[in-house]
Amino acid sequence: MGPFRVLVADNLPPKVLEAVNRPGEFEIDDHSGISAGELKAIIGEYDALVVRSRTRVTAELLRAAQRLKIIGRAGAGVDNIDIHEATKRGVIVMNTPGGNTIAATEHTIGMMIAAIRNIPQAFMSLKQHQWERKPFTGSELYGKTVGIIGLGKIGREVARRLFAFECRLLGYDPLLAPELADRLGVTLVSLDTLLRESDIISIHTPKIPETVNLLNEKTLSLCKKGVVIVNCARGGIVNEEALLEALHSGQVACAALDVFADEPPRSWALVDHPRFIGTPHLGASTQEAQQKVAEQILQQIDHYARTQVAKNAVNFLSVDENIVPLIRPYFELAHRIGRVFGQLNAGRLKKVRIRFYGDILELPVDPIAAHLMMGALQGGDEPGVEFLNPVNAMAVARERGMEIEISKKEQPLTSHTNLIACDMETEKQTVHLAGTVYARNIYRLVEFGTYIVDADLSGSMIIIENEDVPGIIGKAGTILAAHTINISHLSSGRKKALKRALNIFNVEGVLTPQVLSELKAIQKVYRVFRITLEGNGQL
């Protein structure tokens, strides 16, 4: 077997490359600045590719990378890498989260102060040998209300520094626990409240479908007149045309951007506006950060080459290949249980207790629990995090203040030979769910709260809780039939003492809001949930 070959496509410190390079074993070829065409021509010779933000790893490039095993991003953002295509081709993608946190944080604070004090404009005036002061009168950070959208690593570090400026801090992050926000001195609010009350808005979310154009014509119109917008996160989160119009109208007093939808920008109209300041994506461009992420990514790739364990992978969970066939069904079961919870709209998760019973105890349970948490965080409609997967699900959950307990129980609670049970504690209630695997591709929900059921965990499900009286199932079936919705499986559970029942329908068809409204309107029905899982459902 030949050496593990690594191609570096973007600039990394030469001393770092030299320190890790081991000819004949772990060989690093520095092709910093290589063009897309040249990269495509030689990528087939390499086991690993290292990039920063410049190089775009497209589906076309990956199709030429027949030998490629891993892509390392020297930085946090991986939006320049086609994750779906990489996963499809079995190529691991890893990044270096946190390596440039301080650099990005300090750049944000610098941009914020530069914007409100007109520092760049005053400097340019001085460079023209003019001594003008009045046109550049600015504002203080002290006492201002600053809204932070996204309280991940960088957002929290920004909050800590702004707290020292004695700002009033508002935060919007659907996944952050209020207790953690309190420790930061941040008041969690809705996005609308943040927009309406903030003097300055700083963005720190990943670029995912839910955050693209998050600040647009409509949301900018909700802001205070004269608001300041700062974006050092990802281009495209702020609609640049809408921002330019808001600058023209005075709705936005000034804007500071380090990132753009297209880099370099296709249009320079926004950059040319006198109340706009910007930098060419310099958030992570410090000597310290570049050294740190370069060392980290090469160490991670080296570790993978020697052990086949991928650290900070965004699309891969390393499990002993000998147990993959045994553990894969439990991954799927756990993910489906998590997705059921995520779609119940039960409130913000605070604590999760996951318990394993039976044959499953012979397997490593932590990665199974990670699949459950991935489903729980993905299942709802709230914005999630960039590339949430089993690798980062636990870290994301704990980062947002969720307490997670994982335990193995020798004595099963039921007759099932394997069981995954969980209690999801939210700010509103505790939701209990348990599921099992009967056979290949047969997944069952066997406990929902205190109800004992036997529901098929696939496709589309309607869950109805009602008073335990005759006729509910028939009325529900009539409504579904009227809308050409077929029932493929039905499971019922009862609590005789409380005169309550739970009916879980697996259905095939299109569930419109009208259908759900009609089901909720059935007399004696308390609650109706719609759940969509992987499988043969059409919803």
Q: Known catalytic residues?
A: 234, 263, 281
Instruction: Report the alpha-carbon distance of residue 142 to residue 432 in Å, rounded.
Output: 47
Helix axes 101-116, 287-307, angle to 10 degrees: 150
Instruction: Report the alpha-carbon distance of residue 170 to residue 145 in Å, rounded.
Output: 7
Task: Supply 339's token pair.
Answer: 């997705």
What stretches of 130-265 adopt beta strand conformation (E)? 145-149, 168-172, 186-188, 200-203, 227-231, 252-257
Instruction: Report the alpha-carbon distance of residue 245 to residue 257 in Å, rounded.
Output: 15
* C-alpha neighbours within 13 Å on the C-beta side of residue 136: 17
Question: CA 65 from chain center: how many Å?
Answer: 27
Instruction: Report the alpha-carbon distance of residue 354 to residue 406 in Å, rounded.
Output: 5
C-alpha distances in Å from residue 60, one per residue of 7, 68, 77, 82:
17, 13, 20, 10
Paired residues of 430 in beta bridges = 425
Contact 231, 277 (CB under 8 A): no
Question: CA 110 from chain center: how many Å?
Answer: 27
Instruction: Report the alpha-carbon distance of residue 172 to residue 153 in Å, rounded.
Output: 14
Alpha helices in 72-128 (DSSP H): 83-88, 101-116, 119-127
Paired residues of 431 in beta bridges = 424
Question: CA 302 from chain center: how many Å?
Answer: 27
* C-alpha neighbours within 13 Å on the C-beta side of residue 229: 33
DSSP string of 48-98, one letter each residue: EEEE-SSS-B-HHHHHT-TT--EEEESSS--TTB-HHHHHHTT-EEE--TT
Q: Is 208 helix (H, G, I), strand (E, B) or coil?
A: coil
Task: Supply 338's token pair.
Answer: 């998590």
